[in-house]
Amino acid sequence: MNIYVVFYSEGGHIYRLAKAIAEGARSVDGAKVKLFQTEWLIAGDKPVSDRNGVLGKYFALVPFISARELAGADAVIGIAPF
């Protein structure tokens, strides 16, 4: 089972939560868990991927995922600060 944990985080708190959720999901036999980040999308605005300039400090190595790529998952766990 492919499980994608997808998060948006500005300061790293949500990122740490997403990592913990991914770790828990990996404990399930047969689960293949991948961690992704997404850009913050506000209606009418361009994507904001580094609003506060912290990505390099916390989670620059976590790949971004597009909506189209979500189709490769059997389950998606989404985490955002709202």
Query: What total number of domains does the chain contain?
Result: 1
Domain with 54 in it? 2-79
Q: What is the pLDDT of residue 38?
A: 87
78 near 40, Cβ under 8 Å?
A: no
CATH code, domain with 51: 3.40.50.360
Q: Band of the pLDDT at 21, cuts 50, 70, 90? A: very high
Is pLDDT at 26 greater than 60 in this prediction?
yes
Query: pTM of the entire structure?
Result: 0.80
For residues 10 and 50, give the distance between their C-alpha atoms in angstroms, rounded to a whole number.
Answer: 7
DSSP of 38-52, one letter per residue? --B--TTS--BS-TT
